C-alpha cells in the first residue's frame, strides 16, 4: 500500500497534473486496509464501476471524496505534495493515526497493529535523521530513504513451542526431537551449504597442524542433519529439480545417502513425488468438460435465447473450451480503463462515422449514393471523428502519443474509404441504394440430435446492406486486413465445395461469417434470390469489396446449393456438441483464447 501511495506521487510528476492516475488509485482502494475504513464496501465497487464505465484515466480527488467520505481526512495522503519531506512525514503521521484509531481494541487486527507500530518506528527514525540534516528531498529521494529505514525493520512473532508448526533453522533443532519433519531446500549447495574457504592457510598446512578443514565443517553439519532425523516418524524432503534461473537442480547428497542406507526390511518406506508446471512431467491432463445433460440444457438456452453469432461460431471452431467458458458459462473479460485506443474501439469509431454519413444523407432520405454529397462530407470527417472519440476519451488523451497516431490513422482510413466509395459510384452503371445500416439478423431454425428436435437462433449484425440494380449486397467493414484467400470457399478436385475444410481452417473466419449472413438473409428474404456478401477492408481499400466466392466462379452471387451445404455442415457441427463423446477441450493451435490460459 505504501508503495502505491509513493507511486501515486511519482505519477503526479510523470503526467504533470494533480489528478489521480486510475491504476494506482484502484490498487489503493482495493487494499484491505483502505477498504476496512469504508463503512459500505459496495460504495468502492460502485466507484470502480463508474471509473470503468466513463473510461476515466485521471480522476479528481474531489470526485473520490464525494463517494468515499471516510477518506476525506486523508486528503494530504492522496493529493500532490509541494514539499516531499514535510508533506511526506505529515501524510504518514495522519495515515498511521487513522489506521491506529481503527485497529485498536479489535482482536482481529492484532497483527496489523504490530505492523503499524514498527512502521511508525521506522518513520520516526527517518524523520529524526532528516531533522538533524535538513535537506530538500524530491519524491524519488524520499522514497529511496524511506525504504532504507523500513527494510531494516523486523517483525517478531511469538508462538507456542509445544503446539503447531515450528519453523526454525537447522542449528536451532539441536537437542530437539520431532515426530514429523518437513525439510525444504534439500538441494546440493543449500543443504549442506557450499563451503567457500577464505583462509590464507593452505589445506595441507591445516591438515598437518590439525586445524579445522572444509571436511570438518561438512562433517559437523552432517551430524546435525542425521541427529535431527534420528527419531522422526515422518520426514518430507523438498528439493527443486527444475534448474531454471541459474538455480542448482541437483538433489542433496543426504537424499542420495538415505536412499542407499535405508532398509525396507526394517520398516522404512520411501515415496517420491514430482510436482511440475510441465504437464509431461507431472502427468496432468488438459482441462476438458464432457457434454452432459446439464451442459445440453445450457446449450439449449444459449442457442434458443441468445443465439449463435458468427463470432461465437468462429470461437467454437477455434477452441471449444474457450467457447464453453465465454458463451456457455458466460465468463466475461475483465473491464479495464482504456488508456490507449484499442483495436476494437478504433474500428468502432470508423463504423460510427460511416453509419452517421450514410444514414443521414442517404438512408433517411431514401436517395442513391451521390459522389458530390460524399465529397462535401469528406471535409467534415475530422470533426465527426473527433466527436466520436470524445464520447470515450478526453480532448487531452487524443492529442498526443499513441492515441494521436490511432486518431490520424482512422482519419486516413475514412478519407480513403470516401475516395473508394466515390470511385465506385462513378463507375457503377446502376445507382446504389442503402437498404439497411447496422442491421440485426435473427433467424430461427431447427435441428435434430438423438431423435430430439431442438431450436437454434442464428444472429448477426451486418454493417451495411445495399442494392445495386436488382443485386443485394451484404457488406461488412473490417479495420483489419482481409485478402482474397480469407473469403475463398475451398473446393475439391471434382469442383464440389469443401465445406469440411471451410469449417476446419482457422483462416476462413471471414468466409464463414459472410456465409452466415447470407444464410440468415436468404431465410428472411426468400423473394430476393440475387445477393452477395463481402468485406471492405480499411487496410487494403484498393481491393474495395471482396466478396465470398469459390475457385471456379467469377460470378460473386451466392448459390442456393452453396448455402444448403453450408447450412447442413453448420447443423452437423452444432449437433456434435450434444454427443456424449464430445469434450469441450482446449485447441493447442488456437492463438487467441481469452479464458483457457494454456
DSSP for 8-76 reads HHHHHHHHTSSSEEHHHHHHHHHSHHHHHH-S-HHHHHHHHHHHHHTT-SEE-HHHHHHH-GGGGGGHH
What contacts 169, CB < 8 A, 6 or more positions away? none
Report the C-alpha gap between 469 and 531 in whole angstroms: 11
Q: Record the cell numbers describing residue 178, joined without a space.
A: 520431532
Relative to beta strand 488-489, strand 549-550 is parallel
**How many angstroms separate the most distant Cα atoms in the chain?**
110
What contacts 48, CB < 8 A, 6 or more positions away? 26, 29
Q: What pLDDT is attached to residue 244? A: 58
Q: Record the cell numbers describing residue 89, joined without a space.
A: 512525514
CA-based torsion, 395, 401, 402, 404: positive or negative = positive
Asked if 416 and 536 touch (Cβ cutoff 8 Å), the reply is no
Q: DSSP code of 495?
A: S
Report the C-alpha gap between 566 and 587 in whole angstroms: 23
Report the C-alpha gap between 129 and 172 in whole angstroms: 37
Q: Record the cell numbers describing residue 543, joined without a space.
A: 481491393
Tell me which residue of 271, 273, 276 sits closest to 242, measured CA to CA.
276
Report the C-alpha gap between 349 and 411 in whole angstroms: 10
CB atoms within 10 A of CB 176: 12
Q: What pLDDT is attached to residue 282? A: 46
Helix, strand, coil percent values for the chain (each to nearest 5): 50, 15, 35
Which runs of E-coded beta strand occur in 469-591?
Answer: 471-478, 488-489, 531-537, 545-547, 549-550, 583-585
Q: Which residues pair with 288 in a beta bridge?
A: 585
Q: Tell me the pLDDT tens digit for each residue of 274-302.
A: 887 654 544 445 678 888 899 999 999 99
Tell me which residue of 363, 484, 341 sits closest to 413, measured CA to CA.
341
Q: What backbone phi and psi angles, to 5 degrees, belong to 584?
A: -85, 95
Q: Please count the CA atoms within 13 angstroms of the CA of 588 that sit on its side-chain side.
A: 1
The radius of gyration of the chain's CA atoms, rounded to the nearest angstrom, is: 35
Q: Record the cell numbers describing residue 53, joined without a space.
A: 464505465
Phi-psi region of 485 (alpha: psi -120 to 50; beta: other; left: phi over 0): alpha
Asked if 443 and 519 touch (Cβ cutoff 8 Å), the reply is yes
Q: Is 447 helix (H, G, I), strand (E, B) or coil?
A: strand
Give, for all 598 residues of the chain, the pLDDT tens digit.
Answer: 788 778 887 877 777 778 888 888 888 888 888 887 887 878 888 888 888 777 777 788 888 888 888 888 888 888 888 888 888 888 888 888 888 888 887 878 888 888 888 888 888 888 888 888 888 888 888 888 888 888 777 766 666 667 777 788 888 888 888 889 999 888 888 888 777 777 888 888 988 888 888 888 888 889 999 999 988 999 999 998 876 544 567 889 999 988 888 888 888 888 888 887 654 544 445 678 888 899 999 999 999 999 999 999 999 998 899 888 888 888 876 666 655 556 677 888 999 999 999 999 999 999 999 999 999 999 999 999 999 888 877 787 788 777 888 889 999 999 999 999 999 999 999 999 999 999 999 999 988 887 788 999 999 999 999 999 999 999 999 988 888 888 888 887 776 888 899 999 888 999 999 999 999 999 988 888 888 999 999 988 998 999 988 865 667 888 889 999 999 999 999 999 999 889 898 888 877 777 675 5
Runs of H (alpha helix) within 379-438: 381-389, 401-427
Q: What pLDDT is attached to residue 334? A: 63
Report the C-alpha gap between 296 and 287 in whole angstroms: 19
Q: Which residues pair with 507 in a beta bridge?
A: none
N-to-C CA span, the chain = 32
Q: Which residues pair with 251 in a beta bridge?
A: 187
Q: What pLDDT is attached to residue 367? A: 94
Asked if 441 and 458 touch (Cβ cutoff 8 Å), the reply is yes
Q: What backbone phi and psi angles, to 5 degrees, belong to 453?
A: -85, 135
Per-residue H/E/C for 200-222: CCCHHHHHHCCCCCHHHHHHHHH
Identify the H or E element spanning 448.
strand 432-449
Q: What pLDDT is attached to residue 365? A: 92
Tell me which residue of 488, 463, 479, 473 sits closest to 540, measured CA to CA.
479
Amino acid at each position: 500500500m505504501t508503495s502505491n501511495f509513493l507511486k501515486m506521487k511519482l505519477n503526479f510528476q510523470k503526467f504533470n497534473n494533480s489528478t489521480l492516475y486510475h491504476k494506482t488509485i484502484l490498487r489503493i482502494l482495493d487494499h484491505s486496509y483502505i477498504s476496512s475504513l469504508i463503512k459500505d464496501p459496495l460504495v468502492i465497487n460502485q466507484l470502480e464501476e463508474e471509473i470503468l464505465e466513463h473510461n476515466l484515466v485521471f480522476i479528481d480527488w474531489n470526485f473520490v471524496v464525494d463517494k468515499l467520505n471516510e477518506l476525506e481526512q486523508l486528503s494530504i495522503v492522496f493529493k500532490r505534495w509541494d514539499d516531499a519531506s514535510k508533506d511526506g512525514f505529515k501524510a504518514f503521521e495522519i495515515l498511521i493515526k487513522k489506521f491506529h484509531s481503527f485497529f485498536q481494541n479489535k482482536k482481529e487486527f492484532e497483527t496489523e497493529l504490530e505492523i503499524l507500530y514498527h512502521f511508525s518506528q521506522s518513520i520516526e527514525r527517518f524523520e529524526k535523521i532528516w531533522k538533524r540534516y535538513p535537506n530538500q528531498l524530491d519524491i524519488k529521494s524520499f522514497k529511496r530513504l524511506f525504504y532504507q529505514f523500513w527494510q531494516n525493520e523486523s517483525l517478531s512473532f511469538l508462538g507456542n513451542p509445544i503446539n503447531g508448526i515450528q519453523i526454525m533453522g537447522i542449528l536451532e533443532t539441536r537437542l530437539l526431537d520431532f515426530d514429523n519433519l518437513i525439510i525444504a531446500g534439500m538441494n546440493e549447495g543449500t543443504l549442506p551449504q557450499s563451503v567457500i574457504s577464505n583462509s590464507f592457510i593452505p589445506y595441507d598446512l591445516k591438515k598437518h597442524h590439525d586445524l579445522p578443514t572444509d571436511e570438518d565443517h561438512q562433517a559437523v553439519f552432517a551430524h546435525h542433519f542425521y541427529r535431527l532425523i534420528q527419531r522422526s516418524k515422518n520426514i518430507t524432503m523438498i528439493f527443486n529439480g527444475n534448474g531454471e534461473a541459474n538455480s542448482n537442480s541437483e538433489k542433496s547428497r543426504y537424499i542420495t545417502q538415505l536412499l542407499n542406507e535405508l532398509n525396507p526390511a526394517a520398516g522404512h518406506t520411501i515415496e517420491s513425488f514430482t510436482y511440475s508446471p510441465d504437464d509431461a512431467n507431472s502427468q496432468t491432463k488438459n482441462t476438458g468438460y464432457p457434454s452432459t445433460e446439464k451442459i445440453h440444457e445450457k446449450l439449449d438456452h444459449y442457442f434458443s435465447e441468445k443465439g449463435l453469432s458468427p463470432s461465437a461460431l468462429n470461437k467454437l471452431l477455434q477452441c471449444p473450451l474457450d467457447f464453453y467458458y465465454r458463451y456457455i458459462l458466460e465468463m466475461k473479460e475483465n473491464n479495464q480503463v482504456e488508456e490507449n485506443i484499442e483495436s476494437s474501439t478504433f474500428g468502432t469509431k470508423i463504423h460510427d462515422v460511416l453509419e452517421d454519413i450514410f444514414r443521414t444523407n442517404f438512408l433517411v432520405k431514401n436517395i442513391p449514393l451521390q459522389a458530390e454529397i460524399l465529397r462535401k462530407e469528406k471535409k467534415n470527417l475530422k470533426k465527426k471523428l473527433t466527436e466520436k472519440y470524445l464520447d470515450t476519451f478526453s480532448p487531452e488523451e487524443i492529442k498526443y502519443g499513441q492515441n494521436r497516431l490511432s486518431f490520424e490513422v482512422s482519419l486516413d482510413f475514412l478519407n480513403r474509404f470516401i475516395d473508394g466509395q466515390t470511385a465506385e459510384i462513378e463507375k457503377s452503371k446502376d445507382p446504389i441504394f442503402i437498404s439497411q445500416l447496422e442491421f440485426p439478423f435473427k433467424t430461427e431454425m431447427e435441428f435434430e440430435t438423438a431423435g430430439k428436435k431442438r431450436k437454434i437462433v442464428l444472429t448477426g449484425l451486418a454493417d451495411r446492406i445495399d442494392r445495386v440494380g436488382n443485386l443485394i449486397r451484404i457488406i461488412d467493414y473490417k479495420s483489419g486486413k482481409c485478402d482474397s484467400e480469407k473469403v475463398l470457399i475451398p473446393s475439391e478436385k471434382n469442383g464440389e465445395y469443401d465445406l469440411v475444410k471451410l469449417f476446419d481452417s482457422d483462416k476462413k473466419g471471414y468466409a464463414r461469417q459472410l456465409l452466415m449472413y447470407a444464410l440468415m438473409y436468404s431465410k428472411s428474404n426468400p423473394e430476393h434470390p440475387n445477393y452477395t456478401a463481402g468485406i471492405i477492408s480499411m487496410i487494403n481499400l484498393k481491393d474495395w469489396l471482396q466478396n465470398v466466392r469459390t475457385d471456379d466462379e467469377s460470378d460473386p452471387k451466392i448459390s442456393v446449393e452453396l448455402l444448403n451445404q453450408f447450412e447442413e455442415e453448420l447443423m452437423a457441427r452444432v449437433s456434435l456438441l450434444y454427443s456424449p463423446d464430445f469434450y469441450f477441450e482446449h485447441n493447442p493451435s488456437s492463438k487467441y483464447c481469452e479464458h483457457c490460459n494454456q
